[in-house]
DNA sequence: ACAGGCGAAACTTTATACAATCTTCGCCCG
DNA sequence: CGGGCGAAGATTGTATAAAGTTTCGCCTGT
């Protein structure tokens, strides 16, 4: 066996403990179990995962780099609270990147991937029917991540993971109505276009999907309520 | 003064020591003083910067997240060695993002920014005339970063910083001729288009600039020489 | 009664010590 | 003489402890 026995260099989240912590906290944030602004104490998380603060700190720093956690010097880590300006940037970036991702995904489409996609749609529909809001939110983001994985473009995938995580926080903060089932039909339509290898239609559907999500947000001027809150607290 | 006296939340690289380490190593990599594959020992770097391994480790993890350092479990950190496939992904991403960045930069253009841009072009030209290859490489990347800063889009800026750093490694590894002065004229042309607020021309110039850089690379099949090297070393 | 300041507690930051793993070099065996 | 086994050295991964900072409560003085 002269082949490289190296253990999957492209497996960033393997069995190491820091990744488990990172994924646990990420999942909690994505499922809206941890609300923006929540303090993430190192001891607290360390106790939960039975790990030392060294590992917790490493995980939190990664999450900070991904933009879903803010680390304030000498104060600790908090779940990020994206501003409306952040929200606009996130969706602008997604509108730019995701059509290219579906384009590449269609190039790389295969029966195995279509199966995964179909399976995901089923899961998503089931979660919605059963009214499981947490699962719906998580699966809704995972659809986009799945398409990015299909594309085989690791950089786009990495970028999109960040954008999806932040989108989840944004939707939680700024959604107008309680419309958790906003995009399941869109996802099915996009998947159908991918299956038919219709790049133009898939890209257009993705774009309108993103536009609709953003349109349902209430993005007032850049930090209005935050400033008001600061004034109340400070004065 | 009711204004927030918080110390610049958008200053990721401040005076803390871990950032100094990260920037020092980043600069060394971007200036091609540290070659791909170089081992970055924790004690070694710690001695250089007079810091403990805790801080060095934190800096290296950040660099790993940025994609310019690979951390292999129980073996240490190494300067990344992008594959030709990585190179293609990086330039595809840059071709997608940078035209949008110049577009936004033109929206946000101001005399102060134009001054900074002009000053940068001067610096770049001087470095090239004086034959300072290291400075040329660094400044060439900084031009793109400067445009991204002009755009005021923090997400694009973050993404592009990663892409620029990786591009520097890619160019070092795969450039055909020793043509360090490949893009100074292009940069001047792009800057001129920005100054004239000509979005179409600026975007087109940026695109052709990136295409020309990639065209000068020699990207053979996905990991041919690496495999050959691995065989030599392993067998 | 209230404002201001002092002090202790909790937390983060940094450093150091310990454990686990890998690498390397030498030695022994074939 | 070549190859493989093994122990010593070096390096990383993890945990714990010391140091510094912030925060909150309480107490005192006006």
All structural domains of chain B with their residue ranges: 17-79, 84-215
pLDDT at A111: 97
Phi then psi dihedrals of residue A227, to 5 deg = -65, -45
For residue B178, is pLDDT > 80? no
Cβ contact B52 with chain D strand, < 7 A:
no
Candidate from A113-127, B6-20, B131-145, B200-214 with smallest mean pLDDT = B6-20
pLDDT at B220: 77
Per-residue pLDDT tens digits for B17-63: 999 999 999 999 999 999 999 999 999 999 999 999 999 999 999 99
Distance CA B120, CA A216 (A): 42
Cβ contact A57 with chain C strand, < 7 A:
yes
Best probe of the A interface among B159, B166, B222, B227, by most A CBs < 10 A, is B159
How much is the average pLDDT of B200-213? 96
Smallest Cα–C1' distance to nucleotide C23: which residue has it? B75
Cβ contact B15 with chain C strand, < 7 A:
no
Q: At B149, is the pLDDT very low, low, confident or very high (cuts 50, 70, 90)?
A: very high
Nucleotide nearest to A43 (CA to C1'): C11
Which nucleotides of strand D come closer than 7 angstroms to any CB of the protein?
11-17, 20-23
For residue B208, is pLDDT > 50? yes
Cβ contact B53 with chain C strand, < 7 A:
yes
DSSP string, A85-102: HHHHHHHHHHHHHHHHHH
For residue A185, is pLDDT > 50? yes
pLDDT at A179: 63
Residues 6+ away with beta carbon under 8 Å from B137: B30, B31, B32, B168, B171, B180
B230 contact residues in A (CB cutoff 8 A): 4
For residue B120, is pLDDT > 70? yes
Residues 6+ away with beta carbon under 8 Å from B30: B137, B138, B141, B165, B168
**Average pLDDT of every residue of chain A:** 87
For residue B3, is pLDDT > 70? no
pLDDT at A78: 97
Among candidates A121, A116, A71, A226, which has minimal Cα distance to B18? A71
Tell me, which fold does domain A84-215 have in CATH?
1.20.120
Q: At B4, is the pLDDT very low, low, confident or very high (cuts 50, 70, 90)?
A: very low
Cβ contact A32 with chain D strand, < 7 A:
no
* Verdict on whether the full-model pTM lies above 0.90: no
How much is the average pLDDT of A86-102? 98
Which of A2, A73, A231 lies nearest to residue B234, judging by beta carbons? A2
For residue A12, is pLDDT > 60? no
Q: In percent, how much of chain B has pLDDT > 90?
A: 77
Q: In percent, how much of chain A has pLDDT > 90?
A: 77
Q: At B148, is the pLDDT very low, low, confident or very high (cuts 50, 70, 90)?
A: very high
Is the Cβ pair A155, B89 closer than 8 Å?
yes
Using DSSP's 3-state secondary structure scheme, residue A40 falls into strand
Round and report the angstrom distance from CA (A16) to C1' (D12).
14
DSSP string, B66-131: HTSEEEETTTEEEE----HHHHHHHHHHHHHHHHHHHHHHHHT--HHHHHHHHHHHHHHHHHHHTT
Per-residue pLDDT tens digits for A108-119: 999 999 999 999
How much is the average pLDDT of A204-218? 94
pLDDT at B177: 75
Best probe of the B interface among A89, A230, A234, by most B CBs < 10 A, is A89
Distance CA A30, CA B72 (A): 29
pLDDT at A16: 87
Which of B65, B89, B230 lies nearest to residue A154, judging by beta carbons? B89
* Domain A17-79, classified CATH 1.10.150.20, yes or no: no
pLDDT at B222: 47
């Amino acid at each position: 066996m002269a082949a490289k026995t190296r253990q999957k260099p492209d497996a960033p989240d393997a069995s190491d403990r820091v990744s488990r912590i990172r994924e646990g906290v990420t999942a909690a944030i994505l499922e809206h179990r941890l609300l923006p602004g929540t303090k993430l104490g190192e001891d607290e998380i360390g106790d939960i995962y039975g790990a030392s603060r060294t590992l917790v700190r490493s995980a939190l720093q990664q999450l900070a780099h991904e933009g879903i956690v803010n680390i304030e010097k000498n104060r600790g880590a908090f779940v990020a609270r994206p501003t409306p300006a952040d929200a606009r940037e996130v969706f602008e970036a997604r509108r730019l990147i995701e059509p290219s991702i579906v384009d590449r995904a269609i190039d790389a489409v295969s029966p195995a991937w279509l199966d995964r996609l179909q399976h995901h749609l089923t899961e998503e529909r089931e979660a919605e029917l059963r009214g499981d809001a947490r699962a719906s939110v998580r699966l809704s983001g995972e659809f986009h991540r799945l398409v990015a994985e299909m594309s085989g473009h690791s950089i786009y995938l990495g970028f999109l993971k960040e954008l999806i995580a932040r989108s989840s926080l944004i939707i939680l903060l700024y959604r107008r109505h309680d419309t958790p089932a906003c995009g399941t039909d869109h996802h099915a339509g996009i998947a159908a276009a991918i299956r038919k290898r219709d790049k133009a239609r898939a890209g257009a559907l993705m774009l309108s999907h993103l536009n609709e999500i953003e349109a349902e947000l209430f993005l007032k001027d850049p930090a209005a309520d935050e400033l008001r809150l600061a004034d109340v607290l400070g004065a």
